[in-house]
Amino acid sequence: MISTIYKPHNKLKNPCLVFNISKKFQSSSSGLKKALPHTDLPKDVKMIVNSSNPQKAVDVLDKHVLHQYVKSAKLSAIAHMNTPDLNKGKSKIVLPKVPEKYDTFLKLDDFFDYKPGSNNKYEDLSRKDPYFAPDRQLLPNEIFVEKKYSLTESKRKGEVGVVQEAKELVSILAPEKQRSELRKHLRNIKLSEAAMKNNVSLSYIKKNLSEKTLSMRKFVNKKGSTKKATFWRLIAVGDGNGMVGIGVGRSKDSADIASVQGFVQAVKNLQYIPRYENRTISNQIVAKKGACHMNLIPAPPGSGIKACPIIYELCKLIGIKDLQSKDFRGRNHLNTASLFIEALKTKQKSIEELSLIRGRNIIDVKKAYFQ
């Protein structure tokens, strides 16, 4: 006989139905009346159930037996019918047990219904926890907001006495060795002086700024029978978050002094470059300076930087990840670097300006719906 047992689960509000079939129902026809007190199966129905047509058996089972049960139990019973036995002409129909835990759409899913920025996951007791914990997704205002660095944000601490300490250490030595020893402290001395003049933190210069030599040259001037060499360096610095600066250093003593002078000059020329989505430029730029002609094109995410070596290194220091550029005519390194920074600083347009130029009304979906 068929017995319906309501077995509510402790963790679920909806009870689960469990079906059991006894041997009497499968063997004798007298068990049909006991199993189904609400109706009697006619003879033609019993013949269809015992026939070799599975589709008719399913229709009869749905019409006379399963219509009184919930939809989940009905679908589970039809899906797990023993069709090979029906093909052989047997009346063995097994109604399986409904699983105790099943997916429900009445509760929030702990992964697919996860809201970005929420600290805790939604509790769903009808299913097990996933094998991995969903990572916290960044909000749109955390991804697309440009973080501008102000040079006066961090104050100098204990950086005033760098020059005095270096000179006191060198003054103990002999006059012949003072110049060579001062050269070792030249970088810290120059950086300390630049930090004091521009009100920039020396720790920010040492930790955050990256240095790159864009070009190096050596000029030899002949005067009479003597030759004097002059070292020339083009240095660029940046923090990878929009700050960049270039400087030129010259020295007749050594190339190290020229590099230090170029680095200090680049620190003094630090300026902020705006970026679109912190990865590319907002619009196409055509710039010219002297004989240098430049065409800068924004690129979609993942495109990379396709440019000459000078622009490539500057993009790395600025923090630009997707850009295409083409240089025409003049290839002077100093003009190319200065033109690139000047074009990014002055010729980039905001989204609002581009919408006015094109006669469109632009709405930022991220700001309108997610902030």
Name the DSSP letter for residue 330: -
- What does the pLDDT look like over 115-165, one tens digit per residue? 665 555 544 444 444 455 556 666 666 665 554 444 444 334 333 344 556
- What does the pLDDT look like over 213-232, one tens digit per residue? 999 999 998 888 889 899 99
Question: Is the model's pLDDT at 272 over the cut of 70?
Answer: yes
Q: Give which of 222, 147, 236, 160 is closest to 191, Cα–Cα.
A: 160
Intervals of CATH 3.30.160.20 along the chain: 162-272
**305-306 and 323-329 as β-strands: parallel, antiparallel, unpaired?**
parallel
CATH for 162-272, options being 3.90.1170.40, 3.40.50.150, 3.90.380.10, 3.30.160.20: 3.30.160.20
Mean pLDDT computed over 231-253: 93
271-272 sheet: strands from edge to edge: 210-223, 226-238, 243-251, 271-272
Written as one letter, the residue type at 304 is G
Say which residues have a Cβ less than 8 Å from residue 293's Cβ, sequence separation at least 6: 286, 287, 327, 328, 329, 330
Tokens of 198: 């521009």
> Into which CATH architecture does domain 285-370 fall?
2-Layer Sandwich (3.30)
d(CA 82, CA 84) in angstroms, rounded, equals: 6
Intervals of CATH 3.30.230.10 along the chain: 285-370
Specify the residue for token string 């020329």. 269
d(CA 22, CA 93) in angstroms, rounded, equals: 11
Specify the pLDDT at position 362: 81
| Contact of 266 with 236, CB cutoff 8 Å | yes
Written as one letter, the residue type at 267 is V
Tokens of 186: 């030249």
d(CA 48, CA 312) in angstroms, rounded, equals: 78
**Helical (H) or strand (E) element with 196:** helix 186-198
Write down the pTM of the prediction.
0.52
Number of other residues whose CB lies within 10 A of the CB of residue 252: 12
Specify the pLDDT at position 23: 37
Tokens of 46: 């019993």
Tokens of 370: 């997610």
